[in-house]
Amino acid sequence: MPKPTNSRRQFLKTAIGASAAATGLTACQTTGPFGRAPHSPAGARYMGDFAAPALDRIRMGFIGVGGRGTGHVAQMLLMDGVDIVAICDDYAPVAESAAQRCEDAGRTRPAVYSEHERSFEDMIADMDLDAVIISTPWRWHAPMGVAAMEGGAHAFIEVPITTTVDEMWDLVNTSEQTGRHCMMMENVNYGRDELLFLNMVRLGLVGEITHGEASYIHDLRWQMKELDRGEGSWRLAYHVNTDGNLYPTHGLGPVAQYMNCERGGDRFERLVSFSSPAFGRQLSAARDFPAEHERNQQTYQCGDMNTSIIKTEKGRTILVQHDTTSPRPYTRLNMISGTKGTMAGFPTRIALDPEGKGAHGWRQGGELAEFYEKYEHPLYTRVGEEAVKAGGHGGMDFIMLWRMVYCLRNGLPLDQNVYEGCAWSAVSPLSEWSVANGGMPASFPDFTRGRWTETKPLDIVG
Ligand SMILES: NC(=O)c1ccc[n+]([C@@H]2O[C@H](COP(=O)([O-])OP(=O)(O)OC[C@H]3O[C@@H](n4cnc5c(N)ncnc54)[C@H](O)[C@@H]3O)[C@@H](O)[C@H]2O)c1
């Protein structure tokens, strides 16, 4: 995984300083190395509102069936029109157990690919897949997504879509060249409250939007005990090698869609970022492992709390925070504020000011019933009950998968296009660069190459 090393960071600092001097820019005007878009590949088409031909049934393959992928297999078994024909995981026991789960559900046993870490290429070559769901460690997201699209399948990639701007361009270019969808699977956009807020924002209830707040604050120190298998076994390396926002999209995806970012309404323009000291992971290692243990042989450089601020093209601001280390209750903030009111999550609160007389108190708890009654998102009304029964983060996973299948089978654009997945995920490399450069602003690449203005806002679908 090409993570910037200290020497690469130093190079970036020097290079940026030199280019600022050459162009006469002051340090404040310098906006980092990511802003410029590469040329469009030959034959590229814009994927903003792209709709692929409708599929009667979907031949689906999975790459990665660990903690997350197993859940996706279980829920896809509940969907009409989906044939799970292939499972790939380079750890054979989990691949076999996912295949067995399909057989136990009365389906034909899918083909299993688990020989080595590039077995996914064999699966894609052999199986004539319509769609591939990728739930692997982050360093595999881009090569697997590219391979799936080049093999003719739509790629559905877990969060973040990938971790480097170069790989984001690889995904955009491949999607544009092959005419295959590349959707990052941001499930939080399908949470009940996120859907409610989206509906209320679209109805104009918070007025002109000025500011949003998003975070991933989730104490995951327990993952340090996952040594050989499980997310902690690979994710911890990012705390060692990286200092920035490692996981931005859960909080940010919904806020970006409230604002119609990358979809006609606005666009992420630049970001500044700072990290707090990094204490917690070292303390956990010292508490939970002997001194000679590998967990105590490394330095954790990722600040416990990373705080970034995005400035959008229309001048709005978005606070984005990441902290998976401090002992602190879970929150994604989920706050959206405008000229007529503010809505926030954790706990859910709404304060509207339609008369302009001030909104000095939150309505929350039982007082929210009226809002759910009047403004429940029609998608939640349609599948919410079934989703809650199916489980998976309170139903949001089911609603996301249901919509993916519905859109593919009806030839509709997906709810999240490749440009959104890349813009939301780009907070990771941009924050890392900004932190390493004393909080300097970093410009977002415009993954749409200027065409975001043509893309329709996300519909309120039911
Ligand atoms: N959206 C969410 O709520 C959510 C929740 C958890 C995880 N995730 C994301 O899901 C992804 C997977 O996370 P996880 O928790 O399931 O991790 P995990 O470690 O439990 O599972 C990853 C799986 O990928 C397999 N794998 C690794 N390299 C492979 C290769 N080359 N070929 C085939 N299989 C390979 C591993 O054997 C493992 O079974 C990550 O991107 C993570 O960020 C998202």
Query: How far are the Cα atoms of 45, 96, 324, 424 from residue 446, in angstroms, in the given order?
Result: 16, 41, 29, 12
User: Whole-number mean pLDDT of the chain?
Assistant: 93
Residue among 461, 217, 462 nearest 345 (CA): 217
Residue in the block written with tokens 């877990």:
158
Query: How far are the Cα atoms of 164, 194, 253 from residue 190, in angstroms, in the given order?
Result: 26, 6, 10
Beta-bridge mates of residue 59: 83
Ligand 1 centroid – CA 159 distance (Å): 10
The pLDDT > 70 percentage for the chain reads 94
Does residue 64 have its Cβ closer than 6 Å to ligand 1? yes
Burial 391-420 (b: 16+ CB within 10 A, else e): ebbbbbbbbbbbbbbbbbbeebbbbbbbbb
Q: Which two tokens stand for residue 160?
A: 């973040």
Residue 178 near residue 150 (C-beta atoms within 8 A) = yes
Does residue 226 have its Cβ closer than 6 Å to ligand 1? no
Does residue 66 have its Cβ closer than 6 Å to ligand 1? yes
Higher pLDDT, 40 or 230: 230
**Which burial class, exposed, middle or buried, applies to 111 when counting CB atoms under 10 A from its CB (0-12, 13-18, 19+)?**
middle
Closest ligand 1 atom to residue 234 Cα is 19
Closest ligand 1 atom to residue 136 Cα is 24
Other beta carbons within 10 angstroms of residue 431's beta carbon come to: 28
Q: Please, what is the end-to-end C-alpha distance for the chain in angstroms?
A: 40
Higher pLDDT, 272 or 25: 272
**Which burial class, exposed, middle or buried, applies to 294 when counting CB atoms under 10 A from its CB (0-12, 13-18, 19+)?**
exposed
Residue 284 has what pLDDT? 98
Phi first, then psi, for residue 196 (nearest 5°) are -60, -50
Other beta carbons within 10 angstroms of residue 121's beta carbon come to: 18
Does residue 156 have its Cβ closer than 6 Å to ligand 1? no
Candidate from 68, 139, 396 with most ligand 1 atoms within 8 A of CB, to mutate: 68
Q: Which two tokens stand for residue 346?
A: 């954790």
Residue 1 has what pLDDT? 35
Q: Which two tokens stand for residue 303?
A: 């600040």
Domain limits of the chain? Answer: 58-184, 189-380+416-454
In this prediction, residue 12 has a pLDDT band, given cuts at 50, 70 and 90, of: very low
Which residues have C-beta within 8 Å of that of residue 283, sequence separation ≥ 6?
Answer: none
**Which burial class, exposed, middle or buried, applies to 360 when counting CB atoms under 10 A from its CB (0-12, 13-18, 19+)?**
exposed
Q: What 3-state DSSP class applies to 21? A: helix
Other beta carbons within 10 angstroms of residue 385's beta carbon come to: 11
Alpha helices in 43-91 (DSSP H): 67-76
Residue 316 near residue 260 (C-beta atoms within 8 A) = no
The answer to whether the Cα torsion of 257, 261, 263, 266 is positive or negative is positive
Residue 8 has pLDDT above 70, yes or no: no
pLDDT digits (tens, 9 = 90+) for 218-272: 999 999 999 999 999 999 999 999 999 999 999 999 999 999 999 999 999 999 9
Other beta carbons within 10 angstroms of residue 22's beta carbon come to: 8
**Can you tell me the distance from the alpha carbon of 233 to that of 74, in angstroms, rounded to the nearest whole number?**
23
| Mean pLDDT of all residues in 405-418 | 98
Does residue 231 have its Cβ closer than 6 Å to ligand 1? yes
Residue 462 has what pLDDT? 83
Other beta carbons within 10 angstroms of residue 331's beta carbon come to: 20
Candidates 3.10.20.740, 3.40.50.300, 1.20.58.740, 3.40.50.720; CATH matching 58-184: 3.40.50.720
Residue in the block written with tokens 């903003």:
48
Ligand 1 centroid – CA 40 distance (Å): 31
Does residue 88 have its Cβ closer than 6 Å to ligand 1? yes
| Mean pLDDT of all residues in 367-378 | 98
Candidate from 1, 161, 225, 231 with most ligand 1 atoms within 8 A of CB, to mutate: 231
**Can you tell me the distance from the alpha carbon of 84 to that of 93, in angstroms, rounded to the nearest whole number?**
18
pLDDT digits (tens, 9 = 90+) for 127-184: 999 999 999 999 999 999 999 999 999 999 999 999 999 999 999 999 999 999 999 9
| Mean pLDDT of all residues in 53-82 | 98
In this prediction, residue 6 has a pLDDT band, given cuts at 50, 70 and 90, of: very low
pLDDT digits (tens, 9 = 90+) for 187-218: 999 999 999 999 999 999 999 999 999 999 99
Q: In what order do the strands lie in the sheet with 82-88?
A: 111-113, 82-88, 58-63, 131-134, 154-157, 182-184
pLDDT digits (tens, 9 = 90+) for 99-118: 999 999 999 999 999 999 99
Residue 356 has what pLDDT? 87
Residue 22 has what pLDDT? 39
Does residue 444 have its Cβ closer than 6 Å to ligand 1? no
Ligand 1 centroid – CA 247 distance (Å): 14
pTM (2 decimals)? 0.94
Ligand 1 centroid – CA 232 distance (Å): 10
Q: Which CATH superfamily is domain 189-380+416-454 in?
A: Dihydrodipicolinate Reductase; domain 2 (3.30.360.10)
DSSP for 291-313?
A: TTSGGGSS---S-SSEEEEEEET
